[in-house]
Chains A and B, each alone.
Chain A
């Protein structure tokens, strides 16, 4: 039996039952009474700011009112009409930066209506019924290839199937779900929810999943475009930035996304190795997810090292506080300089930074942190643009996801514009589907 103090990267640092507890639901589902009390707080605002703040434009006051009148199933319909992945978004959306930040009760009392948890109450209620609320329109005879079965692809595929098109959905990985399945902290979506949600979504029919096929490998855009009436690319950002410092290739240095993916796919948490001293480099959600989970796996010391100040972090303040509350140390204005160690990482050398006229540079002052595991969460990149025009490292799109090539749409993290959020990807996939539908049925 190892302990948090065992040196190196080892599994089983804490008791398996504690591990189970650590990775339980971050925000357990509301009981009916809790939902009723929370729903009562909604003011049913006119042209509500929360709706404006929602990338998928869910009619939040309406669904909350439906909950408060005892019809959570109708509430779920209101949500799914706009966002078929409303169940996942209820779990992973940074609501503190979106709907709940805009809630007038946040302004009034510093305590917004708990929109995310109410959304989960509604969507869980309907999904627990085991039925699918939508039926397909009459078949159009058109087929669409959706590449990437993440949030954007799933939302696009569902909407297309609903409109009567046949969809073939490809994904490079063995399972559908994309980052929902592979890339989000386990405690945000326990009980295999991502996979269950995909099954539920696909139960509308008309969507055929072809796993293990990646664009640029098994698939080419030309062949896809040839074989289908339209193509939607929701391939995400599969590449990971390397750590361009001395010793950045030592053992113990790894990608945070791979760390999270391994954790998400693990059968037993007790088998997962984690360092005694973990340093995560980066300032986004992935950094927080990796850091918190390292701590939950039993690492003694976990540090997030971010090169800019707190305000520059793309992880929300809620996420930052979540990390801090789990004992993760947040260090700002530090950048990696070198990884030291004999073959395997032992220390990470960091340099303080300062920002002058928008340019970040090292101050020359350095220090070292014990680090037997260094996780890179410094951004992800497009693996292939498939010959399409780019915009800032992403596939350039205009309007509802139209790429530079006619008949090819793109959305989600791989496409230009929008935040790299699940909910944004859903909105882009949905909107692209509506545009594809318009084109395929005689629009422009």
Chain B
């Protein structure tokens, strides 16, 4: 049985599944329920400075994108940081941590970009016994207009500065949460490392308008006829998040910097993918908000089963395993030739592969009078579109053409030796083959 125990920055948790700083972790009641349900850790919803707390709108806070059967694909949120008193939160954090010493409890923070503000709050957090802090440099709405959240995360120098303050006035691990609302995620990660961050977590939510009410002619969620951009999250953002995680993992300047992966993690498989790309653990929000805390049970059993099947005894065995295989386009092997192949026994004759290929791709699928679909190898560029629009998984697969055979499309011999763009004759800046 695989050992799911996670050690992230020396912070132990029984599994690598943490709840992200978000509505589900706003107060003691929810966090206790999460721990009872089996979550390995919790990042408490972001605390602000002492004084009157933030306020939230009193109309709807969330907007959604649905797939078939109203499956939640994406969600956006205009909720701000906690709207509860700082000291109430701190007392609750202290109590919960005392009762669940084996779980990770991280406190998310967002205070003004002034040294004194951080100097004031950090000792208070330290006293709670929480395992570490996460700096919320990512929130894209509301707080950013007040010079906090993503307004900090978008300026690498601020990230370094605030991280340094935290490392000065706080003794436990400091995680910097990054905003994706920036053109190159590597820069803020480098800045965090420069400031002494123990880890980065990403992604925070993406600026978004999820829908427009066509009667009210206003973005949703609509508050008295108006709407604003909110933070987008959920399964739809996972590809964006994973790319950013991989970029940081394979950037020589930040390689080895621990990463907590966030963005659309819904199942054990999502978690394993983030971790393969270099995340030491993952944080979850939308899936819990959609289905409740119980989903962690599937994550635990699924990851455990997969690890057993693959022979991984602990999570650190596979963290980052896929990072060496993330490369730039120019290094992809152009001598790797594949063709689509349709399993006639699995085919249900819907014809979607044909419509997609015929209308929008390379006219490489033939349709017979009795609705049999077959690949025309002479035309197939192996784009994969048919594979992915087919409703039956594994009905269409990509089959590699053996080296030494002729590619019917190009009439050229398939070479056994790899060759990429860097040495391609069409590349004006090619390098001579060695």
Binding site for B on A (CB under 8 A): 36-37, 40-41, 43-49, 104-105, 107-108
Q: Is the CB of B348 within 8 A of A105?
A: yes
B121 to chain A, nearest CB (A): 48
Q: How far is the CA of A45 from the CA of B371 in the complex (A)?
A: 11
Q: How far is the CA of A107 from the CA of B371 in the complex (A)?
A: 13
28 contacts across the A-B interface (CB closer than 8 A): A36-B70, A37-B69, A40-B68, A40-B69, A41-B68, A43-B350, A43-B352, A43-B391, A44-B352, A45-B349, A45-B351, A45-B352, A46-B350, A46-B352, A46-B355, A46-B367, A47-B367, A48-B351, A49-B349, A104-B348, A104-B349, A104-B391, A105-B348, A107-B348, A107-B349, A108-B348, A108-B391, A108-B392
Q: How far is the CA of A86 from the CA of B376 in the complex (A)?
A: 40
Residues on B with beta carbons closer than 8 Å to the beta carbon of A104: 348-350, 391
Residues on B with beta carbons closer than 8 Å to the beta carbon of A46: 350-352, 354-355, 367
Q: How far is the CA of A310 from the CA of B416 in the complex (A)?
A: 61
The 10 tightest CB contacts between A and B, nearest first, are A46-B351, A46-B355, A40-B68, A104-B348, A45-B350, A108-B348, A104-B350, A43-B350, A107-B348, A40-B69
Q: How far is the CA of A107 from the CA of B367 in the complex (A)?
A: 18
Q: Is the CB of A49 within 8 A of B371?
A: yes
Q: Is the CB of A47 within 8 A of B351?
A: yes
Residues on B with beta carbons closer than 8 Å to the beta carbon of A105: 348
B356 (CB) vs chain A CBs: closest residue: A46
Residues on A with beta carbons closer than 8 Å to the beta carbon of B355: 46
Residues on A with beta carbons closer than 8 Å to the beta carbon of B348: 104-105, 107-108
A322 to chain B, nearest CB (A): 27
Q: How far is the CA of A175 from the CA of B351 in the complex (A)?
A: 45
Per-position binary interface string of chain B over residues 60-96, scored 1 when its CB falls under 8 Å from any chain A CB and 0 otherwise: 0000000011100000000000000000000000000
Per-position binary interface string of chain B over residues 335-349, scored 1 when its CB falls under 8 Å from any chain A CB and 0 otherwise: 000000000000011
Within 8 A of A (CB), among B232-261: none
Q: How far is the CA of A46 from the CA of B390 in the complex (A)?
A: 12
A38 to chain B, nearest CB (A): 10
Q: How far is the CA of A46 from the CA of B349 in the complex (A)?
A: 9
Q: How far is the CA of A37 from the CA of B71 in the complex (A)?
A: 11
Residues on B with beta carbons closer than 8 Å to the beta carbon of A45: 349-352
Q: How far is the CA of A148 from the CA of B348 in the complex (A)?
A: 42
Q: How far is the CA of A285 from the CA of B371 in the complex (A)?
A: 31
A414 to chain B, nearest CB (A): 33
Q: How far is the CA of A44 from the CA of B353 in the complex (A)?
A: 11
B366 to chain A, nearest CB (A): 13
Q: How far is the CA of A49 from the CA of B351 in the complex (A)?
A: 10
Q: How far is the CA of A46 from the CA of B367 in the complex (A)?
A: 10
Residues on A with beta carbons closer than 8 Å to the beta carbon of B371: 47, 49
Residues on A with beta carbons closer than 8 Å to the beta carbon of B69: 37, 40
Residues on B with beta carbons closer than 8 Å to the beta carbon of A40: 68-69
Q: How far is the CA of A47 from the CA of B359 in the complex (A)?
A: 13
A48 to chain B, nearest CB (A): 7
A37 (CB) vs chain B CBs: closest residue: B69
B353 (CB) vs chain A CBs: closest residue: A46
B392 to chain A, nearest CB (A): 7
Q: How far is the CA of A47 from the CA of B371 in the complex (A)?
A: 9
Most buried by B among A36, A46, A105: A46
Q: How far is the CA of A104 from the CA of B391 in the complex (A)?
A: 10
Q: How far is the CA of A41 from the CA of B351 in the complex (A)?
A: 15
Within 8 A of A (CB), among B187-205: none
Residues on A with beta carbons closer than 8 Å to the beta carbon of B351: 45-48
Within 8 A of A (CB), among B340-394: 348-352, 354-355, 367, 371, 391-392
Other A-B pairs, 10, CB within 8 Å; known A45-B349, A46-B351: A37-B69, A40-B68, A45-B351, A47-B367, A49-B349, A104-B350, A105-B348, A107-B349, A108-B348, A108-B392
B351 (CB) vs chain A CBs: closest residue: A46
B352 to chain A, nearest CB (A): 6
Q: How far is the CA of A48 from the CA of B349 in the complex (A)?
A: 9
A91 to chain B, nearest CB (A): 26
A394 to chain B, nearest CB (A): 30
B354 (CB) vs chain A CBs: closest residue: A46
Q: How far is the CA of A45 from the CA of B350 in the complex (A)?
A: 5
Q: How far is the CA of A46 from the CA of B371 in the complex (A)?
A: 10
Q: How far is the CA of A46 from the CA of B386 in the complex (A)?
A: 13
A198 to chain B, nearest CB (A): 36
Most buried by A among B68, B350, B352, B391: B350
Within 8 A of A (CB), among B116-166: none
B68 (CB) vs chain A CBs: closest residue: A40
B355 (CB) vs chain A CBs: closest residue: A46
Q: How far is the CA of A104 from the CA of B70 in the complex (A)?
A: 23
Residues on A with beta carbons closer than 8 Å to the beta carbon of B349: 45, 49, 104, 107
Residues on A with beta carbons closer than 8 Å to the beta carbon of B354: 46
A48 (CB) vs chain B CBs: closest residue: B351
Residues on A with beta carbons closer than 8 Å to the beta carbon of B70: 36
B209 to chain A, nearest CB (A): 20
Q: How far is the CA of A48 from the CA of B371 in the complex (A)?
A: 10
Q: How far is the CA of A43 from the CA of B395 in the complex (A)?
A: 15
Residues on A with beta carbons closer than 8 Å to the beta carbon of B352: 43-46
Q: How far is the CA of A43 from the CA of B352 in the complex (A)?
A: 8
Residues on A with beta carbons closer than 8 Å to the beta carbon of B68: 40-41
Q: How far is the CA of A104 from the CA of B355 in the complex (A)?
A: 15
B392 (CB) vs chain A CBs: closest residue: A108
B67 (CB) vs chain A CBs: closest residue: A40
Residues on B with beta carbons closer than 8 Å to the beta carbon of A107: 348-349
B139 to chain A, nearest CB (A): 33
B382 to chain A, nearest CB (A): 21
Q: How far is the CA of A412 from the CA of B353 in the complex (A)?
A: 38
A52 (CB) vs chain B CBs: closest residue: B371
Q: How far is the CA of A114 from the CA of B68 in the complex (A)?
A: 16
Residues on A with beta carbons closer than 8 Å to the beta carbon of B392: 108
Q: How far is the CA of A40 from the CA of B68 in the complex (A)?
A: 5
A50 to chain B, nearest CB (A): 11
Q: How far is the CA of A47 from the CA of B70 in the complex (A)?
A: 27
Q: How far is the CA of A37 from the CA of B351 in the complex (A)?
A: 22
Q: How far is the CA of A44 from the CA of B70 in the complex (A)?
A: 18
A107 (CB) vs chain B CBs: closest residue: B348
Residues on B with beta carbons closer than 8 Å to the beta carbon of A47: 351, 367, 371
Residues on B with beta carbons closer than 8 Å to the beta carbon of A49: 349, 371
Q: How far is the CA of A40 from the CA of B69 in the complex (A)?
A: 6
Residues on B with beta carbons closer than 8 Å to the beta carbon of A108: 348, 391-392
Q: How far is the CA of A47 from the CA of B355 in the complex (A)?
A: 9
B73 to chain A, nearest CB (A): 13
A5 to chain B, nearest CB (A): 49
Q: How far is the CA of A48 from the CA of B351 in the complex (A)?
A: 8
Residues on B with beta carbons closer than 8 Å to the beta carbon of A44: 352
Q: How far is the CA of A421 from the CA of B70 in the complex (A)?
A: 37
B390 to chain A, nearest CB (A): 10
A347 to chain B, nearest CB (A): 51
B274 to chain A, nearest CB (A): 29
Residues on B with beta carbons closer than 8 Å to the beta carbon of A48: 351
A68 to chain B, nearest CB (A): 8
B229 to chain A, nearest CB (A): 25
A217 to chain B, nearest CB (A): 48
Most buried by A among B348, B352, B355, B391: B348
Q: How far is the CA of A391 from the CA of B68 in the complex (A)?
A: 50
Within 8 A of A (CB), among B303-331: none
Q: How far is the CA of A105 from the CA of B349 in the complex (A)?
A: 10
Residues on B with beta carbons closer than 8 Å to the beta carbon of A37: 69
Most buried by B among A36, A44, A45, A48: A45
Q: How far is the CA of A407 from the CA of B349 in the complex (A)?
A: 43
Q: How far is the CA of A104 from the CA of B68 in the complex (A)?
A: 18
Q: How far is the CA of A43 from the CA of B367 in the complex (A)?
A: 17
